[in-house]
Amino acid sequence: MLVGAGDVGFLRTITLIAALGAFLPLNLAALHWHWGIGGVGGADGVHPGAAGGHAAADRRQPVGRRRRRALGLQSATGGGVTSAVVPERLTPPPGVVVVDKPAGITSHDVVAQARKALHTRKIGHAGTLDPMATGVLVLGVERGTKLLGHLAGLDKTYAATIRLGQSTVTDDADGEPLSTTAVSASDGTVCAAVASFIGEIDQVPSAVSAIKVGGQRAYARVRAGEDVRLAARQIRINRIEVSAIRRVGDLLDVDVVIDCSSGTYVRAIARDLGAVLGVGGHLTALRRTRVGRFRIEAATNLESLDAQAISPIEDVVAQVFGRRDVDAEEARVVAHGGRLAVAGIEGTYGVYDEHGAVVALMTETGGAARPLAVLRPAP
């Protein structure tokens, strides 16, 4: 067979490539992933660089060697390039979780820890508890945060200890004492004074509170040295019972259980009880045991908080609010924020579609049913 000059050059090129391949093996899989070249197909056998393939999905940079070691990942080829992908954290389901807040941290601290535990920043709470207080703190997760404003207004139950004979700057044990007076009142006198708080009353909130005055929190103004005086607000005490009375030297500790409306300051009750008896008073312990139908028995500790503790939005709405069932067209209107004809249902209620899924919270005012919170994204 005759070989031309051009053929000789071609053969030399082939020989050189073969020699290089013996000493410098190329990682075709790595080339394929990093630059989109080579003959290695994707997981479904389609070339990622070809038209109609999955080029956009596969244009990822390989995980670095140090990153692989930190994550415990192994190279698919045994070399310096790996096709392993760092797994993404799953978003928790939307809903509500009830946490048993420990003492010594703020409600915002609880939210921060819950965000870490549940791997989402979309978490808020329905009603602040002071750092010294413990007990029920209702958290909204993801779309469950839309419920918080409507859960914050629910009635609450507290177990508290009031120390009579001493008043403080903050009306609780965290504040500096202002005065101390020996208590000579009998147990019967104390119980009668406690019972006088039952019903609708005007309460002046504690000056060291989160209420805004001129755009600034009242407690911030107090800490800055200002003399803050807040306006009285009407609250409702449904029940206040004395469960124990203990003498502590010249002072008196009174344990009480209180059922009250939202917006009630138990610190202010302690302050006002001391004023009624003429000896001063402040709060030494506070535990919230109920918010609406959320009870302390069903609360989760922060240490064990996970997605399993989240109650779905549908369950929460069914537990707390009334119900209205609508057809597919009405559900579509509500999902887009539209109004419906009134149905004669008082208060806030949940609207459910033809499949029994909750769409929104609504209330009836001005001759129409208006959405307060759309809980299902519009299709």
C-alpha distances in Å from residue 75, one per residue of 46, 66, 228: 22, 12, 65
Does the annotation mark 130 as catalytic? yes
* Pairing outcome for strands 216-217 and 251-260: unpaired
* Residue 354 Rama label (left phi>0; alpha psi -120 to 50; beta): alpha
Contact 281, 275 (CB under 8 A): yes
Chain-centroid distance, C-alpha 15? 68
C-alpha distances in Å from residue 251, one per residue of 80, 276, 286: 74, 15, 18
Distance linking the first and last C-alpha atoms of the chain = 74
The single-letter DSSP state of residue 87 is P
Residues of 161-194 as b/e, b for ≥16 C-beta within 10 angstroms?
A: bbbbbbbbbbbbbbbeeeeebebebeeeebeebb
Could you say which of 7, 100, 130, 327 is catalytic?
130
The set of catalytic residues is 130
